[in-house]
Structures are given as C-alpha cells and as structure tokens.
Amino acid sequence: MPRKIRKFSLAILLIVILGIGGKIYMDKREVQKQQDLLAVEKQSVKVLKNTFADIKEVKINEAGKNEKTGSYGMHITLITINNETVSFSYTFWKEQNKIGSYSIENRNIQKKGITKEKVKVTYTNKEEELV
C-alpha cells in the first residue's frame, strides 16, 4: 500500500512540475512575441518616414503578424506638421524592410516623400519614442 501511495504522489508531483514548466515556457514565448512585434513596429516607422512627407507624430493603434504570409498589418494614426490627422492601415514586410501596401484615406495628408525631422511615435504597448 505505501508503495502505491508513493507512486501516485510521484506521478502527481511530476504532472504539477510539467504543468508549471509548460506555463513558464508559454509566458516566455508570449513575451518574446511582444518584443518581436515592438521591434517590427520600430522598423516599420523608419520605413514610413521614408514613404510619407511632413510626419510629426505616429500612433500605432493595432499591429499583428499574418502567420500565413509573414507580413505585419499596422493600423496607425498619422499627424502631420500642419496638425492634420489621418488614420489608415498598411502592410509591412520585415524581411524586405518595405511597406507592401497602404490604404489612402486623404491624399492631401498622405503625401509621398521623406520626413527627415524626428517623429514622435506611440507604439501599441503605449511606449513613446522620438525616431
């Protein structure tokens, strides 16, 4: 009888340890995904500055990876140096370091060109930075 109790206790202990280990692994993987997404957001803003002129501020409202294509979808609010605001979406290809496509909501605000000045950026995790 005591031998069965020991085996049963050992089995329960093993299951608990595996459960805790699995939870820790999944938490670390989620943190890594968030760090990767933040790095892609930062990379995409630099490319965005080389795509549009007169950017003063960018707020990234949503961002996510399309697992099938490998591209990232971003929904942003862009504020120009004239305090004009436009919200639109774009796809970003990390490996190619380029914007694949973007929606045009207002051609007068979304002017093609290069922004050389520093841009205030608010990322999806609410972190702010000048780029």
Q: Is the pLDDT of residue 117 over 90?
A: yes
Q: Residue holding tokens 């093609």?
A: 112
Q: How many domains does the chain have?
A: 1
**Residue with tokens 């290069």, as numbered in its chain:** 114
User: Which structural domain, as residue segments, surrounds residue 28?
Assistant: 2-130
Average pLDDT on 119-129 reads 95
pLDDT given at position 40: 95
Please determine, for residue 38, whether its predicted confidence score (pLDDT) is greater than 70. yes
pLDDT for 1 beyond 70: no
Which tens digit of pLDDT belongs to each residue from 56-70? 999 999 999 999 999
Model confidence at 130, pLDDT cuts 50, 70, 90, reads very high
Question: How far is 114 from 93, CA to CA, in rounded Å?
Answer: 19
Four-CA torsion 20, 23, 27, 29, nearest 10 degrees: 110
With 90 as the cut, is the pLDDT of residue 45 above it?
A: yes
